[in-house]
């Protein structure tokens, strides 16, 4: 019978349930187990696709095209768990399906209620993944905090699963806050109340992760264990790490997290082989060449908006022993600065990420031109390659009004245009080119050198493409079109000639980069930045 671990949170949100769940998955994989990761988001949206980056952060895209919560990115970076649309559960999806069945008469005239109909649909989705052949442990992370009205149906469904499957096949891991008040005193009362709220719902946590600034001492752990009815060795310290989040699996392992979970689930496994994670943290701590990369984007004020790109840079920096300072620059603020060139001169490389809408486009174009003319390594992702093309057409081809039809719908020279099949689309949810697509690379180009393959597969999330009628003129003027869709109709990547490293891609390589296997383009970009500065 498959085993289930349920990760919940208390006191407040954003304590790190995603990292804790991913680290747990990594440790179980180190013991030879196959895990399945599931994220539950209590919001009523069907998916994260239409949510503002300022409110929700990054939209993570799976290979099958699902637009999901950024925690799924942590799952892919830490574990080998295969992820798809089914691994992301939202309240919008649950109610949409239950209402569809009710309208179709599948409930045979019964009064449709939260219990059992909503909870049954939640359980069905969890079981449909957890009972797949080969899965040893399914880790289910529930967003929000205990006490939130939105989370109640999910906690009830979890309670039912624990009752149905038994304590030997289920484990409740509760992450809570142990704050430090004025004078440095650590308070355990919020944690006690959080566990009390869980028990009132009918769930007794088996493992408690105590989020805190410094590692908890034995006395505090004993106090928490006593007042929460949790075994002493199951009260663990989720304290801050001073290096990288990729040190967290090793930190939890030292406290016996994986051992405790395996004992509670009656799992007989091999000894955990965590050497790769220990080596990764050790490499991060080593002093390396110092470089500064500027990310010129639209949503840089919120730290999680470009989470996967941030981590892709970290992965490459660790591999190449480079100490990267990533400077976030709001592109529209760059437009208003008289000393903008001085700001860009302080950088060793420039990265322009994705985004939607006209705001800040001028600032991105200024950054791309500066990088091209000053031989500064440049990496354009999604919108970043479109900016690269627009800037080239304006300042090299001499098409002064070159633009994207997204920003100037009535423009005469739209070098970036809407996909033909999307012209009449009104709804914005799930209407883009989403998920994994193959790209055919041109030999002798920097992108081909980075991947070492003629055909690659990366994930997309965009509506607009390079206009085909301008391609020949771009190539004649010196722009290298280095990657295409399998039918040759869509441009997937572009490069600058006679430049240290100027590459733009229509896809999102950050979604497949991991700390143990950095994305090839991030690897080459960071390497080029370091070498260019050295030269």
* Active-site residue flag, 111: no
Q: HSE, CB side, 13 Å, CA atoms: give it for residue 493.
A: 29
Q: How many CB atoms lie within 10 A of CB 60?
A: 27
Distance set, CA 523 to CA 27, 109, 315, 320, 527 (Å) = 26, 59, 8, 8, 6
State how far the alpha carbon of 327 is from the alpha carbons of 338, 365, 428, 518, in Å. Answer: 19, 18, 31, 20
Q: CA gyration radius for the chain?
A: 25
239 is catalytic: no
Quick one: how far is CA 44 from the chain centroid?
20
Cα separation, 277 vs 283, in Å, equals 10
Angle 208-211-214 from CA coordinates, rounded to 5°: 120
Q: How far is it, in rounded angstroms, from Cα 342 to Cα 428?
A: 39
Q: Which of 141, 382, 391, 462 is catalytic?
A: 382
527 vs 149, 180, 444, CA distance in Å? 48, 41, 18
Catalytic residue among 29, 58, 76, 510: 510
Terminal alpha carbon distance of the chain: 59
Residue 285 Ramachandran class (φ > 0 left, ψ -120 to 50 alpha, else beta):
alpha
Cα distances (angstroms) measured from residue 21 to each of 27, 75, 248, 265, 388: 10, 8, 11, 16, 38
Beta pairing partners, 349: 293
Q: How far apart are CA 95 and CA 105, in angstroms?
A: 15
Sequence-distant (6+) residues with CB within 8 A of 444 are none
Closest CA to 396 of 507, 533, 506, 499: 499
What sign does the CA torsion over 328, 331, 332, 334 have? Answer: positive
Max Cα distance, the chain (Å): 75
* Beta-carbon contacts of residue 498 (< 8 Å; ≥ 6 apart): none
Give CA–CA dist 494/282, Å, rounded.
Answer: 36
Neighbours of 242 (CB within 10 A): 7
What's 267-327 look like in SS3? CCCCCCCCHHHHHHHHHHHCCCEEEEEEEEECCCCCCCCCHHHHHHHHHHHHHHCEEEEEE
Task: Give the contacts of 229 (CB within 8 A, at least 6 positions apart).
Answer: 195, 199, 204
Catalytic position from the list 56, 117, 448, 508: 508
Token duo for residue 344: 């860009």
SS3 state of residue 60: strand
Question: Is 30 among the catalytic positions?
Answer: no
Instruction: Show which residues are catalytic.
Output: 382, 508, 510
């Amino acid at each position: 019978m498959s085993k289930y671990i349920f990760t919940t949170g208390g006191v407040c949100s954003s304590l790190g349930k995603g990292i804790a769940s991913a680290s747990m998955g990594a440790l179980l994989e180190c013991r030879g187990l196959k895990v399945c990761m599931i994220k539950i988001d209590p919001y009523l949206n069907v998916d994260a696709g239409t949510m503002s980056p300022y409110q929700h952060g990054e939209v993570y895209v799976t290979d099958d095209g699902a637009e999901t919560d950024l925690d799924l990115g942590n799952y892919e970076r830490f574990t080998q768990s295969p992820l798809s649309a089914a691994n992301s559960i939202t309240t919008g999806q649950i109610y949409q399906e239950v209402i569809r069945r009710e309208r179709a008469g599948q409930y045979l005239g019964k009064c449709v209620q939260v219990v059992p109909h909503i909870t049954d649909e939640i359980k069905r989705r969890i079981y449909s993944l957890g009972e797949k052949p080969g899965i040893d442990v399914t880790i289910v992370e529930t967003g929000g905090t205990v006490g939130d009205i939105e989370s109640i149906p999910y906690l009830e469904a979890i309670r039912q699963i624990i009752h149905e499957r038994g304590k030997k096949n289920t484990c409740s891991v509760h992450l809570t806050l142990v704050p430090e008040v004025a004078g440095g005193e650590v308070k355990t009362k919020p944690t006690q109340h959080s566990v009390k709220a869980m028990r009132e719902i009918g769930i007794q946590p088996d493992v408690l992760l105590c989020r805190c600034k410094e590692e908890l001492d034995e006395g505090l752990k004993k106090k928490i264990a006593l007042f929460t009815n949790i075994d002493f060795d199951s009260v663990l310290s989720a304290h801050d790490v001073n290096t990288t989040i990729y040190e967290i699996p090793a930190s939890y392992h030292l406290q016996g997290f994986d051992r405790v979970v395996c004992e509670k689930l009656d799992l007989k496994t091999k000894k955990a082989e965590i050497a790769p994670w220990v080596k990764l943290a050790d490499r991060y701590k080593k002093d390396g060449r110092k470089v500064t990369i500027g990310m010129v984007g639209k949503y840089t004020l919120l730290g999680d908006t470009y989470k996967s790109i941030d981590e892709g840079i970290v992965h490459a920096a660790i591999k190449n022993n480079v100490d990267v300072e990533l400077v976030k620059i709001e592109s529209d603020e760059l437009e208003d600065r008289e000393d903008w060139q001085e700001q860009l001169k302080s950088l060793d490389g420039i990265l322009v990420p994705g985004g939607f809408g006209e705001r800040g486009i001028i600032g991105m174009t200024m950054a791309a031109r500066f990088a091209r003319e000053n031989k500064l390594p440049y990496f354009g992702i999604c919108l970043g390659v479109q900016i690269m093309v627009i800037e080239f057409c304006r300042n090299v081809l001499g098409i002064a009004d070159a633009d994207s039809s997204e920003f100037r719908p009535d423009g005469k020279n739209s070098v970036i245009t809407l996909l033909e099949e999307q012209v009449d689309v009104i709804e914005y949810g799930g209407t883009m080119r989403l998920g994994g697509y193959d790209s055919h690379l041109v030999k002798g180009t920097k992108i081909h050198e980075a991947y070492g393959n003629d055909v690659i597969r990366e994930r997309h999330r965009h509506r607009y493409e390079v206009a085909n009628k301008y391609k020949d003129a771009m190539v004649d003027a010196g722009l290298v079109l280095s990657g295409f869709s399998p039918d040759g109709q869509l441009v997937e990547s572009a490069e600058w000639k006679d430049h240290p490293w100027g590459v733009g891609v229509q896809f999102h390589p950050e979604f497949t980069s991991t700390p143990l296997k950095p994305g090839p383009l991030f690897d080459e970009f960071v390497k080029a930045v370091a070498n260019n500065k050295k030269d």
